[in-house]
Amino acid sequence: MEGLIVAAVFFGLVFLTVAMGVKLVPQGSKFVVQRLGKFHKTLGPGLNLVVPYIDQVAYRVTTKDIVLDIPSQEVITQDNVVIIANAVAYINIVAPERAVYGVEDYELAIRTLVQTSLRSIVGEMKLDDALTSRELIKARLKEAISDDISDWGITLKTVEIQDITPSGTMQNAMEEQAAAERQRRATVTRAEGEKAAAVLEAEGRLDASRRDAEAQVVLAEASKLAITKVAEAIQDKELPVMYILGEKYVDAIQDMSNSDNAKTILLPADLPAAIKGMLGGR
């Protein structure tokens, strides 16, 4: 019975030893092996053998691309405007032993490095440039951090700027500025319309006045011509003059009788005598 127990323990230890010596690494991963607390080697995907009880898998590292979300942060531009910026970085670990031994936490280190570099780059730009130059910021950001993380055995595949927006206070100020600009344009347009209308009205009055003046000149010329013709016709004869004046007098009386304010019209009994009186006759 005791021999059976010893045999079972022996085979159990053999099985455990073999299991500890055989390491199966899945595709897309690498294992970092330490021997007696010191880095020994890196195991690639597949079946690998290590020395039981001496070699130990200290770290399991993925070789797939890792997506790091960079938290949003406030950045002050060159013209002292606060904007909110965040990014996303795509990295790949090419040397797992350098990544795990070169820095305490490579993901935290890369996030911090991207944040500080982003603040530095945007801080050298004005607001309008920062909002419209994402590709430039991306290129400068990649150039700034690629060399630093390569020392950790990590390659920066790409970095993208997710969002760059002014802060809430700045957005309110920009909206107020845009509303003021729209109001200014509306006021200018309205003033220009009123000015154009006033000019057209003045031009209309000027044209009407000019035409009235021309009409008065024509009437004056016609009256002058008529008087000249009448004077030539009557010469020293009194009766034609009296006839013309009497005709004008009658027309004037008719106009007065047609007036809304006319109540009583008095006609002289001796019209020829009246006309002679007007002419200063005998």
Domain boundaries in the chain?
2-62, 66-166, 169-234, 236-282
SS3 263: coil
What is the chain's percent helix, strand, coil content, to nearest 5? 60, 25, 20
pLDDT tens-digit readout, 140-150: 999 989 888 99
**52 pLDDT more than 80:** yes
Stronger pLDDT, 10 or 243, i.e. the higher one: 10
Instruction: With a cut of 80, say whether residue 101 has pLDDT above it.
Output: yes
Q: Which of 87, 69, 80, 81 is nearest to 168 (CA)?
A: 81
E-assigned strands of 26-173?
29-35, 38-43, 46-49, 55-62, 66-76, 82-93, 154-166
- For the cut 70, the answer to whether the pLDDT of residue 278 exceeds it is no
What pLDDT sits at residue 207? 83
Query: In the predicted model, what is the mean pLDDT of residues 76-88?
Result: 87
HSE-CB at 51 with a 13 A cutoff on CA atoms is 7
Sheet holding 55-62, edge to edge: 38-43, 29-35, 55-62
Tokens of 104: 């305490």
Residue 45: which pLDDT band, with cuts at 50, 70 and 90? very high
Would you call 236 exposed, middle or buried from its count of C-beta atoms within 10 A (0-12, 13-18, 19+)? Answer: exposed
Looking at residue 27, its amino acid is Q
pLDDT over threshold 90, residue 182: no
In this prediction, residue 30 carries a pLDDT of 94
Of the pLDDT bands very low, low, confident and very high (cuts 50, 70, 90), residue 42 is very high
Structure tokens at 120: 């530095």
- Left (φ > 0), alpha (ψ -120 to 50) or beta: where does 2 sit? alpha
Q: CB count, 10 Å around CB of 30?
A: 21
**Using one digit for the tens of pLDDT, what is the confidence trace for 124-167?**
988 888 888 888 999 999 998 988 899 999 999 999 988 888 76
Residue-level pLDDT at 8:
77
Confidence of residue 272 (pLDDT cuts 50, 70, 90): low
List pLDDT tens digits, range 6-29.
Answer: 777 777 887 888 888 888 999 999
Q: Provide the residue type at 110 as one letter.
A: I
Distance of alpha carbon 278 from alpha carbon 282, whole angstroms: 11
Residue 62 has pLDDT above 90, yes or no: yes
The CATH number assigned to the domain with range 66-166 reads: 3.30.479.30
Read off the pLDDT of each residue in 170-183 and give the average, rounded to a whole number.
68
What per-residue confidence (pLDDT) applies to 115?
A: 92
Average pLDDT in the chain: 80
Residue 155: the pLDDT is 93
